Amino acid sequence: MTARRPGRDAEHLDGAFAEFSLLRGRFNQFAARTAHRLFGGGALSFEILLSGLLWLILAALVILEGHHRKFFSLDAAAIHARMLVAVPLFLWCSALLDRAARDACASLVKVGIVAGAAKDVLDRQATRLARLFNSALLQVVLVVGVVAIGLLTPRDYLPGVSSFAGNMTDDVAGSLAGRWYVWVCLPVFRFVLLRLCVMFLLWTYLIWKLSRQRLHLVASHPDRAGGLGLLEVAQTQLLIFVLAIAVIDAAAFAEMSRLSELIEQDVYVHSFLIALVGLAVICGPLLFLSAPLFQCRRLGNIEFGALAHEYSTLFRKRWIETGSAEHDNLLGASDIQSLADLDGSYQNVRTMRVLPVTGTLVVVILGCAAVPHLPLLLLKYPMTDLISDLVQTMIGVEGRQ
């Protein structure tokens, strides 16, 4: 058994980059302690319960003021989408992204892709970013941004009846429930959204700093990304963000369908735009890594090409150009297995991606943007009519004109 060098694990795993996390501020620690004392959960559970409590208060006020029929209908679909779907998804996305980013950074340090001077630089950057994200100044800036959005955003650019106070009818906007939603629920929703956006920007900045360091990439790595495949895994957590945005957009269209006829082209355009946003958010930061990955693949092709040529030449001399007496040991020869292993490594180099993004991820992004909009088609084409037309077509009866 090989003895492990003292301090090797500490050398690799200690450091702010290997333990990178933005969700270790005072509020998260308070939420984690409170949730653990109340029901044994974590900070995420506590935050989701708070968002649910805001919706429960809103529902109670609506019932007390007699607006429950409108509240529990498509007229308020986006309200429920924001408070019951989007806010929990944003919080969940933040937690998953933070955990996946930390795992990716720790793995890069552990396997030696990030080491030496590069690790020192990234340690300093990780410490600075964590301090910035949890600073009181940033929280104040986010609150000011939330207030500015509520006061300055033109209502014409906000789809849905419940997206802006000016879009609501006077009886709803002037009620206690309307004020609770406009001055409490919407700001909380926007604060959580802005906080996730800032988290994404800081993580993107760290990826950019990573791309500018001297990385010890391996061209023959099985992940076809030089060992950076875990960064794609971290980025996939943002699929939840894309899904939440699509749900809000679909709910806003559902609200507007009560006031005017649903225009299919608008739905298609919005789905396409959300898909573009998803591609930019998830795949965009990984573009920074294209330069080091391209360089790694180029050098790998040269090195493994030379190695493959040399080994193939020796293999030919031994097994093809020699006499038949040597062929008695052909079956089970380790040289043949080694040649196959070399071919596998060489193919890994040849198929190495300069952008650590798979086609499957792109398809999932498109699905997250489109699927929430599919139920909108039922508003224009009722299910009963679709089934009736299908049955009439199958049995050969002329359908509706």
User: What's the pLDDT score for residue 320?
Assistant: 75
Domain chopping of the chain, boundaries: 15-296+366-376
% of the chain beyond a pLDDT of 70: 85
- Burial of 379-394, coded b for 16+ CB within 10 Å and e otherwise, reads eeeeeeeeeeeeeeee
**pLDDT digit string, tens, across residues 278-294:** 999 999 999 999 999 99
Give the separation between CA 257 and CA 160, rounded to whole angstroms: 9
Q: What is the pTM of this model?
A: 0.85
Q: Please report how the helices 229-236 and 359-370 are oriented relative to each other, as an axis angle in degrees rounded to 10.
A: 10
Higher pLDDT, 340 or 22: 22
Lowest-confidence segment of 168-177, 218-227, 251-260, 345-354 by average pLDDT: 168-177
Residue for token pair 């293999």: 315
User: What's the pLDDT score for residue 2?
Assistant: 37
Give the separation between CA 116 and CA 214, rounded to whole angstroms: 9
Count of CB atoms situated within 10 Å of the CB of 330: 10
* Helix H or strand E segment including 313: helix 290-319
Give me 223's structure tokens. Answer: 């992940």
| Residues 208/288, Cβ–Cβ less than 8 Å | yes
Give the separation between CA 129 and CA 131, rounded to whole angstroms: 5
**pLDDT digit string, tens, across residues 24-61:** 878 777 777 777 677 777 788 888 888 999 999 999 99
pLDDT band at 10 (very low <50, low <70, confident <90, very high): very low
pLDDT band at 3 (very low <50, low <70, confident <90, very high): very low
Q: What Rg, from alpha-carbon coordinates, does the chain have?
A: 28
User: What's the pLDDT score for residue 162?
Assistant: 58
Assess whether pLDDT exceeds 80 at residue 124: yes
Higher pLDDT, 227 or 10: 227
